[in-house]
Amino acid sequence: MLFDTVLERYAQRAPFPLMLRASLEHLFRPQRLDRLFDSVAVDQYTRQLTFSAVTALLTDVVLRVRPSVRKAYRDADLPVTLRAVYDKLKGVEPSVSEALVEKLAADVAAVLAAWPQARRADPVAGLRLRTVDGTFLAGTQHRLKEMRGCGAAALPGMAVVLRDDRTGLLTHALLREDAYTNERSLSAPLLSWLEPDDLLLADRNYCTAALLGSLAAGGVFFLIRHHKGLHLHALGPRRRAGATRTGTVYQQRVRLGEKPGGPVCRCVAVVLKEPTRDGDTEVVLLSNVPAGRAKAAALADLYLRRWRLETSFQELTVLLRCEVNTLAYPRAALFGFALAVTAYNVLAMLQAALAAVAGPDTVEGELSAEAVAEEVSSTKRGMEIALPAEAWERFARMSAAELAAWLQAVAGRVDWSRYRKSKRGPKKRVPVKRTRRGAHYATARLLAERTKR
């Protein structure tokens, strides 16, 4: 009875940490995580330190509840040394991290299925929009002997992530230890992630004749920016096809590659009103979406949705800690990134619970993700003290539908005044003066000169 009273208090005063903790209890059940590890891991095995225990420890670091692995270890009750924890982390195989992302994303999607009203509408009717992009993990501390005394950054690896626009989830991740890996070399595994009537949105790193031809052959549609290395053979005149807020749109039919018989698609070109940061005056897109399903101007606008995945990467870095700079070994750093992706999906599930009550447009336009993340990081530790482990067992036993109903009930009591975005007017464009490499200023002196003026 006391636990119900405390849960009620958190539901009123700190609903997001409460929903997050309950969701983690449901999704991160130790037995399920350890079974996943046993079924995928090849090199590693379990002695005393389980995969689920290491996952729980690093999840608190990723959520910014604890500042470091060392601090999380001190607060945990583990039967091993800190060295054993680091050894376990540096040995987690990328395939295990990839399977973790995919499995938990599917579990979250099962909960989201209870809220069809929270699902985003497809921008092209009947086609499920998927966005793919890659990111290179930031440099870590120079903890390895080979990097000591070196001024260059120590890059632990790179990741390619697929985002589902309907749910907002990051459903798949491809992780590579070699930070020099080129995204274009990883395009083939994308085919196993996609299904017929998916619409793949990607930048020019994925513009290869082999990939585009395989997508079309598999019934997958694409909207991909043209890479100059791919030859286009015009099959008709270039005609004006409307305008967008960024420029004038033209389209024509083209064949990909220099050899006859290559894939045929639409070439959508946007002549920009203002050049991009790279100086481009025209953006060229390739798509096999029929004109009857989407006009050229609509495809040009749709390409701008790539920012949603880029925003996800930013939130993984700023709101969560997807790059733990003390994890110098590539496998450990990639495991931390994978956990950040799963934590991002859990937070997306909480936002979807709120969208089921207030509507997706309201949540997307008004909910401050920063306010939610700050409340989670500042409240979760106190919640662990106030509520013992047995208070959360009920959530582990819940079905996906039961958890969805409970989350929606708590979301319906959220006080919006505490979580609304602080809105401001549009930023003024200011020209930036380029300086020599390594130049710097003393801010105090600049302010002193302003005072004099």
Beta bridge partners of 140: 154
Q: Per-residue pLDDT for 433 more than 70? A: no
428 band by pLDDT with thresholds 50, 70 and 90:
low
Report the alpha-carbon distance of residue 368 to residue 351 in Å, rounded. 10
Q: What pTM value is reported for the model? A: 0.89
Query: Is the dihedral angle over the CA atoms 88, 89, 93, 95 positive or is it negative?
Result: positive
Among 6-20, 27-41, 364-378, 425-439, top mean pLDDT goes to 27-41
pLDDT in tens, 177-194: 988 888 888 888 889 999
The percentage of the chain sitting over the pLDDT mark of 90, rounded to a whole number, equals 53
Angle at which helices 82-90 and 51-62 cross, to 10°: 90
Residue 440 confidence (pLDDT): 63
Give yes or no for residue 225 having a pLDDT over 90. Answer: yes
Contact 256, 286 (CB under 8 A): yes
Quick one: tokens of 414? Answer: 């959220």
What is the share, in percent, of the chain residues with pLDDT greater than 70?
Answer: 94
E strand or H helix at 358: helix 330-358
Structural domains of the chain ordered from first start: 1-181+305-421 (no CATH), 200-302 (3.90.350.10)
pLDDT at 346: 94
Confidence of residue 248 (pLDDT cuts 50, 70, 90): very high
- If one compares 275 and 103, the residue with the highest pLDDT of the two is 103
Query: What is the residue whose two structure tokens read 């995928």?
Result: 40
Retrieve residue 183's tokens: 């995204």
Confidence band of 1 (pLDDT split at 50, 70, 90): very low
Average pLDDT of the residues of the chain: 88
CB–CB of 361/117 below 8 Å? no
Q: Which residues pair with 113 in a beta bridge?
A: none
Cβ contact 302:294 at 8 Å = yes
Query: What pLDDT, on a 0 to 100 scale, did the predictor assign at position 328?
Result: 86
CA distance 201 to 309: 10
pLDDT score, position 81 = 94
pLDDT digits (tens, 9 = 90+) for 268-323: 999 988 888 777 888 999 999 999 999 999 999 999 888 888 888 888 888 888 88
CA distances to 228, 286, 295 from 279, rounded to whole Å, are 15, 20, 27
Q: How confident is the model at residue 238 (pLDDT cuts 50, 70, 90)?
A: very high
* Bridge-based pairing state of the strands 198-202 and 128-136: parallel
CB atoms within 10 A of CB 188: 11
> Is pLDDT of 100 > 90?
yes
